[in-house]
């Protein structure tokens, strides 16, 4: 792969990425969902997982797969997944999900076309929370206690259910109070066996939209914060940046009102690299799709989440699905291809973020700021007409800065030349700047000047004693994120 952004930059080499076993801590994860329903072959993941560099993996537990005979639990299938993840330096977090036809009876449909029709619990239990009978509640409690007792020395984080705000996962009709009832019951069962377990609630399908904000508020009013330690949400949106400023403010407001300082995780977000010509469904499948667009989405979504203070962001999914639920067609959400397990561009994009945003990398939280001006717009940097988006991080005393154009991901990138003026807190260090293309992993030296004027007036003479702002006079900008940091922070192959 060759970077389209290399014009006018000095090529230094390829980024040396770090393996998961070489990274102590990271806010980045990947989806290992749907193994409870045998939708993909985890053997495709093992050869490349450690190379990816992620530190978290979301795994659905599958009550119906574990308890096929009343009172007998077979965790062997899940043991294999958990142990292989741990061997590769990845922490599994368990999504305790779905019902069991042994205990969960039929419910009335809430679909308008099937209103009143009784729907039987399927073999995989999807959509049937165990709350509608005392027998189901007791059986769920027993299963969850057995789960926690079995994994308590290997797993610390447990999530309650998956997307309870969707009818497909809550067939009797989503109700926040019912979900909190399940969360409270589940948390109690887990902590009976594992008092120090971290319980995650929410798993909200609609991310941070107005709909999900109302759902989160109703859950918090019903007591979600009393039984859960973390709130999780899913980030599917065709343009990740759209409405994000007001949504994150509202999301934080709700958490601060009902449980101040409660962390939040983005537990699932992705996009397919292609849709079969026969047609398909699934999140964001109506978009124009390609492997390049998938990588672009991964980068923009992940950088946006982490910049906004998300404590962990998980990409959906590790590998393509051979089939999804009742639909036997292939779903191409994976970082690796179904055909041969080979990595897609999205794999390398996430691998780069795992290397750069680990081991003490945090949102800059105001310690850096950038002003990007497209050179073709105007000689006055304040008059630039092109919008840009930025994600600001600091690792130790070194900034890690990302930028891109927040236009449609579906359009082919149009590369423009830009000048970026960069301010940073005086205790930070950036002396030997390099630009990194996260997909190609190419590293370039970039020119840096100093603007030593003491204000923004162009007619002012520089002050030779001033440290001045850092100015990057010729950088590329497009819909593909790029990253800038100090050469001392990275290694080259």
Question: Which of the two residues, 286 and 269, has the higher pLDDT score?
Answer: 269
* pLDDT on residue 327: 67
- Containing structural domain, residue 205: 19-357
One domain for residues 468 and 373: yes
Has residue 404 been placed in a domain? yes
Residue owning tokens 């929410």: 202
| 350, two tokens | 């996430």
Residue among 374, 381, 371, 352 at smallest CA distance from 443: 352
Has residue 11 been placed in a domain? no
One domain for residues 333 and 394: no
One domain for residues 398 and 316: no
Q: What is the share, in percent, of the chain residues with pLDDT greater than 90?
A: 85
Has residue 3 been placed in a domain? no
Number of domains forming the structure of the chain: 2
Residue owning tokens 């260090």: 429
* pLDDT on residue 411: 87
Looking at every residue in the chain, the average pLDDT score rounds to 94
One domain for residues 149 and 177: yes
One domain for residues 347 and 458: no
One domain for residues 301 and 270: yes
Has residue 279 been placed in a domain? yes
Listed residues 329, 357, 385: the one ending a domain: 357
Cα–Cα distance, 205 to 184 (Å, whole number):
20
Average pLDDT for 362-373 = 97
One domain for residues 119 and 160: yes
User: 75 vs 17, 35, 64, 82, CA distance in Å?
Assistant: 34, 13, 11, 10
Has residue 151 been placed in a domain? yes
What is the chain's length? 493
What is the per-residue DSSP string for 425-458? Answer: -TT---SSEEEE-TTT-EEEE---EEE--SSS-T
pLDDT digits over 291-340, tens only?
999 999 999 999 999 999 999 999 999 999 987 766 667 889 999 998 89
Residue 379: pLDDT band (50, 70, 90) is confident
Has residue 326 been placed in a domain? yes
| 433, two tokens | 């700047």
Question: Which of the two residues, 381 and 107, has the higher pLDDT score?
Answer: 107
Q: How far apart are the first and last CA of the chain?
A: 16
One domain for residues 67 and 128: yes
pLDDT digits over 326-363, tens only?
666 788 999 999 889 999 999 999 999 999 999 999 99
Average pLDDT for 258-267 = 96
Q: Is the pTM of this model over 0.75?
A: yes
One domain for residues 152 and 193: yes
| 156, two tokens | 């610390």
* pLDDT on residue 404: 98
Listed residues 308, 342, 357: the one ending a domain: 357
Has residue 23 been placed in a domain? yes
User: 252 vs 200, 221, 223, 447, CA distance in Å?
Assistant: 16, 15, 17, 39
Cα–Cα distance, 163 to 201 (Å, whole number):
10
One domain for residues 312 and 377: no
pLDDT digits over 463-492, tens only?
787 788 999 999 999 999 999 999 999 999
Has residue 233 been placed in a domain? yes
Residue 457: pLDDT band (50, 70, 90) is confident
* pLDDT on residue 280: 63
One domain for residues 270 and 188: yes
Q: What is the CATH number of the domain that holds 318?
A: 3.20.20.80
pLDDT digits over 211-223, tens only?
999 999 999 999 9
* pLDDT on residue 352: 98
Q: What is the CATH number of the domain that holds 456?
A: 2.60.40.1180
Residue owning tokens 């039987």: 120
Listed residues 357, 372, 404: the one ending a domain: 357
One domain for residues 139 and 223: yes
Q: Give just the sign of the alpha carbon dihedral 214, 215, 216, 220.
A: positive
pLDDT of 407 strictly over 80 = yes
């Amino acid at each position: 792969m060759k970077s389209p952004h290399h014009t006018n930059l000095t090529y230094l080499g390829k980024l040396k990425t770090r393996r998961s076993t070489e990274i102590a801590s990271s806010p980045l994860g990947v989806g290992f969902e749907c193994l409870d329903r045998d939708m993909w072959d985890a053997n495709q993941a093992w050869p490349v997982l450690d190379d990816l560099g992620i530190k978290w993996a979301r795994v659905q537990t599958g009550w119906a797969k574990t308890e096929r005979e009343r009172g007998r639990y077979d965790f062997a299938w899940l043991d294999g997944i958990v142990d292989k993840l741990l061997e590769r330096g990845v922490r599994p977090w368990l999504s305790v999900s779905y019902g069991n036809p042994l205990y969960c009876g039929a419910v009335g449909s809430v679909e308008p076309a099937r209103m009143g029709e009784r729907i039987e619990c399927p073999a995989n239990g999807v959509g049937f929370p165990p709350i509608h009978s005392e027998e189901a509640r007791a059986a769920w409690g027993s299963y969850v206690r057995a789960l926690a007792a079995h994994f308590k020395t290997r797993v610390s984080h447990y999530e309650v259910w998956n997307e309870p705000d969707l009818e497909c996962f809550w067939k009797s009709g989503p109700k926040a109070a019912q979900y909190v009832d399940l969360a409270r019951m589940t948390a109690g069962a887990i902590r009976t066996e594992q008092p120090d377990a971290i319980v995650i609630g929410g798993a909200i399908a609609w991310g941070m939209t107005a709909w999900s904000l109302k759902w989160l508020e109703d859950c918090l009013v019903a007591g979600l914060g009393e039984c859960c330690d973390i709130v999780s949400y899913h980030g599917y949106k065709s343009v990740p940046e759209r409405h994000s400023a007001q949504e994150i403010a509202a999301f934080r407001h709700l958490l601060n009102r009902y449980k101040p300082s409660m962390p939040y995780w983005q537990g699932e977000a992705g996009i397919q690299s292609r849709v079969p010509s026969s047609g398909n469904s699934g999140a964001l499948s109506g978009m124009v799709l390609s492997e390049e667009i998938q990588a672009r989405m991964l980068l923009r979504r992940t950088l946006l989440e982490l910049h906004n203070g998300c404590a962990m962001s998980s990409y959906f999914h590790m590998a393509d699905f051979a089939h999804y639920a009742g639909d036997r067609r292939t779903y191409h959400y994976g970082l690796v291809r179904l055909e041969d397990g080979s990595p897609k561009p999205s794999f390398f994009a996430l691998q780069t973020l795992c290397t750069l945003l680990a081991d003490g990398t945090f949102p800059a939280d105001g310690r850096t700021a950038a002003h990007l001006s497209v050179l073709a717009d105007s000689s006055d940097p304040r008059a630039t007409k092109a919008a840009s988006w930025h994600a600001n991080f600091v690792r130790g005393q070194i900034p890690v800065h990302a930028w891109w154009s927040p236009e449609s991901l579906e359009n082919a990138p149009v590369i423009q030349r830009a000048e970026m003026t960069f301010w940073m807190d005086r205790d930070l260090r950036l002396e030997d700047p390099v630009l990194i293309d996260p997909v190609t992993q190419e590293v370039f030296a970039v020119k840096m000047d100093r603007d030593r004027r003491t204000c923004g007036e162009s007619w002012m003479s520089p002050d030779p004693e001033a440290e001045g702002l850092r100015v990057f006079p010729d950088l590329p900008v497009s819909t593909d994120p790029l990253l800038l940091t100090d050469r001392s922070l990275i290694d080259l192959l």
